[in-house]
Amino acid sequence: MRVGRNVARILLLPSMANITKAQLVLHDGSCVIGDHFGGHRSMSGEVVFNTGMVGYPEAMTDPSYRGQVLVLTYPLIGNYGVPVNGQSKGGIAGLKMSELLESDRIQVSGLVVSTLSKRYSHSTALDHLDSWMRQHDVPGISEVDTRTLTKKLRTHGTMLGKMVIDGQDVQWEDPNERNVVAEVSVQEARLYPGLGEKKIILVDFGCKESILRHLTNARLDVLRVPWNYDWSDEPADGIVLSNGPGDPKMCSGALDIIRKGLKRDRPVLGICLGHQLLALAVGADTFKLKFGHRGQNQPCIQVGTKRCFITSQNHGFAVNEQTLPQEWKPWFFNANDGTNEGMQHRERPIFSVQFHPEANPGPLDTVFLLDSFINTVRRGQ
């Protein structure tokens, strides 16, 4: 029965009678066996887990997951499909693919789930998760005890892993030992016109599309530039240092540019990797977390208050708060492990957060921070 313009689409996964087995081999020698789906190739990467209940299409297309094997802790995955397929680059109800995903391709190297739904139902769904992953040649493993696997990663820490299909072994590969930012950043500068009220430079270290959308929806002109583009003398009313993948210290080529850019008096906002790079540029240090923060349910407390915000996060490194220079003060901290989640300059409109205030796929608790930055730019402060 038709219930409105957005009618839920329910489709069944093609016959899975010929499912093959796949292995997830961890660097400590342990092995997990499950059912193979998605792309038919073996691969390796850093095995991480995400505790979100929803948002697998957004997570899988987030450039911050470049080079990683993603373990989803929620037990049922694929039940609402994906909002794009191989034939169509748009959704329904006037939504384009860029309005539903975080980049134009799957960024994770592999996916591990407990149960892969054999059917999906959602008004924006155009394809099954398995079919979408086959089109992008990204392998997956289902029928895995992801609870036990996650507990192992929490106890021993994030580790390297291989997803082996049909016994085709591959070499170990650690994405943190290469500059993965260069792999996901845009290759040339591009202007996204708003209404010309103000101009923002968005430094793309692996930027989520939702950050760009939020800025352009606020009627700002946005110049999106590559990670190593010298924007320091570029005319602009504000700077956004985006999220991105990997170890921030592998992106050292951007630090001198940030230092030069900070000499000009204009608002600066750092998000996730942008927060870490800003901290490194001003003289602080970063370190690798044992298993990182990934999901849409990370609690963060504003320093000096009892106010707790539920945030969306995806990172494996953090800023060492004890190394912040005197002119900087901590802003937020993680309620679970006490690590730094934000910092502010004591006098200038320069601040950064480790979480994602653009809130895609949610929650909306901290979207006001991005709006506050935009208002600061508009006031010319």
Looking at the annotation, which residues are catalytic? Answer: 272, 356, 358
CA distance 38 to 167: 16
Q: Dihedral of CA 302/307/311/316: which sign? A: positive
Q: What is the DSSP letter of 294?
A: E
The answer to whether the peptide bond before residue 361 is cis (omega within 30 degrees of 0) is yes
Amino acid at site 362: G
Using CB atoms within 10 Å of the CB of residue 215, give its burial: 0 to 12 exposed, 13 to 18 middle, 19+ buried: buried
Alpha carbon 217 to chain centroid, angstroms:
20
The answer to whether the peptide bond before residue 63 is cis (omega within 30 degrees of 0) is no
- Cβ–Cβ < 8 Å for 130, 83: no
Pseudo-torsion of CA 272, 273, 274, 279, nearest 10°? 100
